[in-house]
Structures are given as C-alpha cells and as structure tokens.
Structure 1
Amino acid sequence: MTIPSVETTIRLIDTGAAAGSTCSPDLATPPWEFDAGTPGYGPGSSMGDVIPAGSPRQGALPERYRTASPEELSARIVEAKQALGDSVVILGHFYQRDEVLRHADFVGDSFQLAQATQSRPDAAAIVFCGVHFMAETADLLSGGDQAVILPNLAAGCSMADMADIDSVTECWEQLEELYGTDADASGRVPVIPVTYMNSSAALKGFCGEHGGIVCTSSNAQAVLEWAFERGQRVLFFPDQHLGRNTAKAMGVPLEAMPMWNPTRPLGGNTRGELDAARVVLWHGFCSVHRRFTVPQIDAARAEHPGVQVIVHPECPMAVVDAADSAGSTDFIAKAIAAAPAGTTFAIGTEINLVNRLAAQHPEHEIFCLDPVICPCSTMYRIHAGYLAWVLEALVGGGEQSAQVLNQITVSPDIARHARVALERMLAARPPASTAPATTLPDQQLVGV
C-alpha cells in the first residue's frame, strides 16, 4: 500500500478527500503566504509560541516558483543539481517534507548532519534543509570558502528562541555569585554550561568560552558524563525535558534538578535548592514533543495490545516513563529496522519522520502517538519551491549570473568559541556510536 506524504495528506484532508484532522487549517497554505505576513513560526506545532522581535524573515519568493506544480519543482531541482554537480551538497533533516528530502544528499538528525557538514570539503555550497541553528552549525564546521544556504530564512526554532544570550549570561552571573569560580579538590569547577544543539551560535559560543559543550539527543548522556567529569554541576539549556530525562536515566534525583525561569531572581529557586543542584534546567521545551501525552500512550496500548511505544527524549518525563523506550530520531529508526516483522509501533516524534518510517517499513504497523497531524512549524517552512529557487540561483543562466541566496554566516568573534564547543560535542560520541548521515534511496519514499 502506498502511503502519501504528510504534505499530500494535509492537502487531501483540507479538500475533504481524506479523513483525519490537522492542528491548523493553515497547514494547507503554502509557506510563502506566511512569509509575507505577520512574523511568526507559521502553522504547526509551534504556532502558539511567541516569536522574538527581530527574528529572521524571508523575502518574497518569485512567482515562477509559487505557481509551479510539485512535479515541475521536482524536475527543476533535479536539473539544477545535475548542472551543479559536486559543487553543491544538500543536507536534509529527518523532519523535512518528503518533497524536499527526496533531493538531499545526506539525511539525518542534527548530530549526523553536523558530521556530514565536514564530509564534502570541496563543495562550494551547502544547502541546509533544516532550521536556522542547524545552518549556523554548518557554517561553523564547514570550510571558510564554503557558503551555507538556508532555503527559507523564516525556518527558525521556537525552542532555540527560548534561551537568548542575554538571559543565559544573566543566569551565569547569578550562579557565579552563588557558587564562586574556584575548582574543588578534584579539580572540578562549580558549574559547566551545556547547550542543546537547538540553540543559537551565540549560546554555543558562550559554552565554548566558559568551558562548556554542545549536545544532541544522540549523545546527551555522553556529554553529561563529560561535563560531570569537569564540573560539580551542569547548567543545561534550552530544553528542560532532554536534560531531565537524560540526567534521570543517569541516576540524578529529581530534587537535584531545579528549573531556571529567566524571568525570576535566581530562576525562581532558593539558594539552598541551587546549592544542592546537580543539573540546573532551563525553562524551555520543544512544541512538537510537548504534544505527546500519557493518555495517548494509554489509548495506543488499549487499541493495539503488544504495541511498542517509542518516544523522543524531548517529550515530558511522564511520557518517557510511560513509553517502552526513548531515544533520538536515529535511535527510533534503528529500533524499527531491527524489530521482527509484524511489530506494531506507536511513535512519539515529528509526523514527517513517523510517516516516512511507516512507508519504509511495510512489514510493520507504524503510527504517530498523536492522531492529529501537526508537523514542526519551522521545518515546514522549507518547501520545494524555496529549494528550487536557491539551487537555480547557484546555476545562473541567461542574463542572470550565478548568485548565493540566503547565506548564513556566524561572526568571527562568536565562531571562535562556538567551534570549540562543537568540537567537544563531536568528540563525545554515544556509547554505541551513532551512524553518520546517509543518502536516502528513492524507494524509501513511496507515495511522494
């Protein structure tokens, strides 16, 4: 049975041609309609989050891309890629639309794509089909003569926006006043900053400058182990859930993980609570993974006896505890691939990945825990029209010379420290080393 892509399914639901529900009727509207309007994350899981003032905005997409059919856009992308050859490499995150991801040279999670960034040093351009912080990371890790391109500048991340450099710096100053800066008898400093990959380059730079490190969901435990070897405690931002779930699995008690609310003095904690802390958690979260609930797990178990429930560690602790297992997108994909035929899976992560896994593994029954279709708002801002636009600009032709559109660059003063934190991250591999990002065979994307 052919499984249509999420984008196709949303259109079918919108026209009444298919059953089901979405979290917003605006999901059927092309993203350029929102790029021209009021600043926001767009329809999807993050649509209720408040976008910070001054967030990047995308200019108008030329009409020839807005009016082209999906088939025409796909053909134009293929033609542009052939013309560009090895001078361009396209990276695609697991949460992208199938209509975009089918053209990627490397597909993976944020950790794998950070590794893939360094795999093609001869490519003049890296087109990153993901979100803004990922493109920044690619710029940090790529060669100085390589241009990193984000097809839609409005593809940000609401979680990353929940921690800014000013708020984190203020938090750090308060913690230094409380803890001091002197190392203990074993040489461990009072606190080590750890930022999730889902953060700005400025925060990665902050960690690099202050002896800290970056983590992803793939290597969060390895990173925390690295940090505890060097520090008495950890300041973990911006995702509270990944920090809590990872530290709890390592044996850190909940009472040793106070939450830091940047709008309150001492983050809303007492000096005693902070003094006893092992992990200070930032008040941030992923709107995609916050949608998953324990009642959804209960409903899946009631309707599908024997179902295997796997969720992402960005989900709330109660959801992770109720699931059979939790892990990164790469972990989820590998668990499904290794299961005996006929296994039923309920997956708690972004719908594009779940839908794609169901298409790739017809030997299993795979469905999303959340019955309402609600993709990542910001990943969904990347559309095949934008990909065709930036690729054809690189090709040039006629009276139009080749040009780089939507280039993402990190200032040298930030980049210097951020690279240190990222290099530490790349060295802190998970116990069972995460496989590198790979190409995605066309036959794995049926129904696109």
Structure 2
Amino acid sequence: MATVVKGATGTSAQRSSDPAVVDTVADVIADIRTNGDDAVRRYSEKFDRWAPASFRLSDDEVLGIVASVPETVLDDLRFAQNQIRTFAEAQRESMRDVEIETLPGVFLGHRNVPIEAAGAYVPGGRYPLTASAHMTVLTAKVAGVDRVAATTPPSDGGAPPISVAAMHLAGADEIYVLGGVQAVAALALGTETVDPVSILTGPGNAYVAEAKRQLFGEVGIDLFAGPTETLIVADEHADPFTIAVDLLSQAEHGPDSPCVLISTSDRVARDVLNHIEALLPGLQTNAVAGPAWRDHGEVHLVDTIEEAYALADRFASEHVQILTADPRQALGHMRNYGALFLGEGTCVPYGDKVIGTNHVLPTLGAARYTGGLWVGKFLKTLTYQEVRDTASSARIGEICGRLSRLERFEGHARSGDLRAARFGGVPLHWADLPAGSGAS
C-alpha cells in the first residue's frame, strides 16, 4: 500500500493545447501554405527580428561557423555523437528484411525502407539543446535518410555556433537558421526555397509542439511532446543525496516538470526531502526547478519493491531511474517507461546528452503504448507478396472469393474467382473466361 509523503500541488500538464496557441499556429500555417517564403520571412522578422538574405546557411558559412567553435567543444560533440551513432547502428542492424514461403510458391516479405527526407528542429532560446541535433539528425542519417534538413532559431542576432556545429557534425544536409512555427511549417509544407520533408522531429516550445500536432498527417512526427518527466525507484540501499541531486537535474527543464520518488524506505524518503530543501537555494536554475519541485514533486512510500515497480508503471514516466540493490530486476517487472536508467553509475542527464540512447521520449502517459525516437522511426516497413505456383494461386483464389462474399465485396471475390478459374479450372459463374485466359 502506498503512502503519499509529498503530493503534487500544481495541476497536471494538459493533453490538449491552449486554444489561443491553437488559433495562432493555425493562422501561421495557413499563411505559409498560401504565401510561402514571404510569410516565413514576415513571421521570422516579427517573432525573432531575423530576416537574412537566406535562412539556409551555405557550405562555406557552415564551415566558417564550425571553425569558430573551440576544439574541445567539437571533441565533446564528436564523443557524444559517436556514442549515439554506435547504438543507432546496432539498432539498425537488428532490423532485418524478411521473406518466407508460406505455401508452395507463395512468398511474403517486408523491406525496411528509409524515409526520403526528414526535418530536425533543434531548439534555442533559454536552453539551446544541441543534443537534439545528435538525436534527430544523426539517427536519421544512420537509418539511411537521404536528406535531413535541420533548423535552429537565431541567437544574439545570428547563427548559434554550437548548434550549427552539432548539426553539421551529425550529418545534416541542409542547415537553416530559422525558428518557431515558421520553421516547422516551411519544412513540412515546402516553400519556394525549402523542399518539403516527410517527417518532423525534435522538441520545441508550445507553439512548435502545436505546429507539429496540426501538421501531423501531412507529415509524420516523432512524438507529441509534454513536459520532461522523471521518476526514481529507490530502496533502503539508495543514497538520498544522489536521489535529491538527480531529481533536481530534471526539475530544471521547466516549472511544470514532474519529479517523482517512489521508495520502500521512510528514512531515504525523508532524507531526500531534506537534501532538496538544502540544495535548491544554491541551484542556478532554482527559478525553474523550485516551482517544478514545489508544484509537481511527489514522494510515495511503499512496502515492497514489487509495489514500487507497479506504481511506477502506473505513472508511465518519460525517465525512470532505478536506485536499488538489484537495479536490473526492474527489466523483468516494468513495461511502461520512456527509458530506464539502472543503478547509481548512470543518470538521466547521461541519456539527455551523451551516453548513446535517444532522448526524444514519450511523455504524458504515452509510454503505455509507444517508445521513443530511434532509427526505426525513420524507416517504413513495407510488405510485398508474390505467388509463383499456379496451384497455390487457385487455392487462395477460391478461399478469397468465399471470404469476400461473406463481406459482400463482389469485386474482390471476382479477382479471386478469376485466378481459381485460370489456374485451377474452377468454373466462372458470372462471366465466360475469354479464350486464351486459361492456365498456362
């Protein structure tokens, strides 16, 4: 039985958008759909005070910007991207094309075919999330996407060097300095100077998230994004100070970011609360992390580790950290999470920035039915079928005809009848088989 030691006092994140945001985004998309580049330029100038001759950086401009970034920063970006590439390549290798023979001469198969073009949004503003370039651009390229167009908002009146470097090193084929709804709409719809993409990926503010929601269907998207979520499962062996630090590491994502602790130890739970109160005043991001913990922080006390896993599954949190004596036990007990972080040696910021797994993960309970972004998101699993054996075609045709008529699909039935007649000599009752149309 669970006891609530600290409950959330704020309202939970809404699964529907603010009506004002919905209307604003719809107007921008409609304008860009009609007026293309002119509308994109107007909105960029209005919202970002940014209207260069070209939003797309030339190859020389990209190389010049990358050259301005300190080599130690480039080395760190390369390290992170190598981690992510290695894991993504292993994921891609696990996806095999399939072909089987189900009946004599009946072959069924599927192929994993990359999407032709992907768009990657790399946020700027309060938090320039350069890691998003690794997760979106690089993963798409490993999947085999021919064209990846990456975009990021301007910063300090120009292109943000570290974000541009991250996009370039990740393999972006096109780099745009353009933010907001106008960037997402330009990539999805296409303009006179921007070719459209087939999928949009990457996080953004409420307006970017709403734009992706409204454009979904015309293009694919990675996920519907909500506030960053973290949950820690801890037993009596866990270090309370580590738990406090790790909860606050995710609270700083936003004032509406849920931070949850589920523990089997009353002592650990109480010590965590004390450490958080001591750490928050000195945290540079206290203005964000403080409200997140105050309004959306929760601590639950349970009797057994099995109860802890069951309660954690009900939360279906984006990030779940396991700080127990046997952290790998969670692999057999849990199924609803975006990503698991097992043991004190790892933490959620590793996944956010550098360790190699993708940080674009489900929120708002979506972990109940989906995982996060990975190479498979950029692949279409396409089936095919071939019947080489005429006797098998005749057999399937007869059955297809009968099943189709059960559903009152006479046209479907006749396609099956035709093959049963042509390859198996079964009489056609609705037409005469033309001369020369028999089995060959």
| TM-score above 0.5 | no
- Comparing both chains, which one has the higher relative contact order based on Cα–Cα distances under 8 Å and sequence gaps of 6 or more? 1
Normalising by structure 1, we get a TM-score of 0.23
TM-score normalised according to structure 2 size: 0.24
More strand by share: 2
